[in-house]
A and B are shown apart, each in its own frame.
Chain A
């Protein structure tokens, strides 16, 4: 399995193949997006078996509800990452999962995120270090909370003790910074 070449298609081809319910489509979808989606899921759910369950649920849901996706509403990844994030948050907030005490208390998140972003990033991902330096710490925290942790901006404002307007402005500035970096 590890030697097998990963399947990669253009987004148009992939969407068409998924509409036709082709076997190759779900394989390509997994090879192209599983790591990015798992990156989001594993930051919300620390427990690896649970995070893997959520990744599986995410792909099953993508496959079964694909008819509700439309290219006019945006990019495929945006649609998929929202499914992944919502499933992960639902799992995090479910009664069963809370009883396991494997999740982080929300109150400790900020310091945890700071530790995580500095220690977990992979050295092979070139440019991450530059990127970390690109984002100011206050921008990075908001991105982490909202994008990777599934906080709403209202919750983030509450969490950080910052007015809503400021949260919105900082979030926009952070994303502007990313755009500048990627271009």
Chain B
């Protein structure tokens, strides 16, 4: 305890507080203060009194010095804190050039659309015309085809008549009124069908008010078998009304549409079995 008191009274603590000690003495005082609370308390007392003494001798520095001193410290502080943000900035500068490109694209796209539209209209008109032509051709071909089909089926009917053994062929001879005339008639009693061969028809041409009419004589009575015309281009056979039995056939010239009973003095051909 005596040692500590002597240490305090040596004045080393005052010199320590005033910063007037060697590095070795400084470490020694700090070690002593750590081990002896009395010395620590003594040091604290000296420090407080010197601090108060300094306060009494304080000199207020000029007003503008405050901002200058704080500025020199806080500027650096701000620099440290904003450093990260500065690195990011260049990234933002890359974006700007896109819009003119887009504008051009839409211009060209619009022009292309117009050109396509025009080409399509022209194409459609031309296609429509071709389609019309094709339709007309098809209609014409269908008409032809129908005609040929009719012709073929008619010719088949004619061939059937020729092949069928049940048909009987009868050559009607001209009467006294018209001795040059004749007509071939084909009749099948089994099938009750009657055909006339217009190619073999040799009669005078009829006018527009009259037609020739074919008759069958059944048990002495005339039966109407239909009318026909004598024209220069008539070359085919013609099927007439059907009849099951007949004794003879005759043709008379009658008013157009035919008559209910034959006009006997206008008979041009007749033939009997």
A172 adjacent to B9 (CB under 8 Å): yes
> Known interface pairs A52-B62, A78-B17. Does A147 touch B50 (Cβ–Cβ under 8 Å)?
yes
* A82 to B16 alpha-carbon distance, docked (Å): 10
B101 interfacial by beta-carbon distance below 8 Å: no
Inter-chain contacts of A34 with B (CB < 8 A): 60-61, 65-66, 69
A27 adjacent to B54 (CB under 8 Å): no
* A57 to B77 alpha-carbon distance, docked (Å): 16
B61 adjacent to A38 (CB under 8 Å): yes
* A168 to B14 alpha-carbon distance, docked (Å): 8
Inter-chain contacts of A2 with B (CB < 8 A): 63
Q: With contacts defined as CB atoms under 8 Å apart, how many contacts are there between chain A and chain B in the complex?
A: 130
CB-nearest residue of chain B to A81:
B54
B236 interfacial by beta-carbon distance below 8 Å: no
CB-nearest residue of chain B to A152:
B20
Give the interface size bracket for B toward A: 35 or more
Inter-chain contacts of B10 with A (CB < 8 A): 168
**Distance (whole angstroms) from the CB of B97 to the closest CB of chain A:** 42
* A143 to B53 alpha-carbon distance, docked (Å): 10
Which B residues between 69 and 110 are near A, CB-CB below 8 angstroms?
Answer: 69-70, 72-74, 77
Which B residues between 6 and 65 are near A, CB-CB below 8 angstroms?
Answer: 9-11, 14-15, 17-20, 30, 34, 43-65
Per-residue interface assignment for chain A, residues 1 to 28, with 1 indicating a CB less than 8 Å from any chain B CB and 0 otherwise: 1100000000000000000010100110
A160 interfacial by beta-carbon distance below 8 Å: no
Inter-chain contacts of B54 with A (CB < 8 A): 36-37, 39-40, 77, 81, 147
**Distance (whole angstroms) from the CB of B70 to the closest CB of chain A:** 6
Give the interface size bracket for A toward B: 35 or more
A182 adjacent to B52 (CB under 8 Å): yes
> Known interface pairs A147-B50, A168-B15, A175-B50. Does A59 touch B58 (Cβ–Cβ under 8 Å)?
no
> Known interface pairs A77-B51, A168-B11. Does A55 touch B65 (Cβ–Cβ under 8 Å)?
yes
B5 interfacial by beta-carbon distance below 8 Å: no
Stretch at the interface among A93-101, A102-110, A120-128: A120-128
A55 adjacent to B63 (CB under 8 Å): no
Inter-chain contacts of B11 with A (CB < 8 A): 168-169, 171-172
Per-residue interface assignment for chain A, residues 162 to 183, with 1 indicating a CB less than 8 Å from any chain B CB and 0 otherwise: 0000001101100100110010
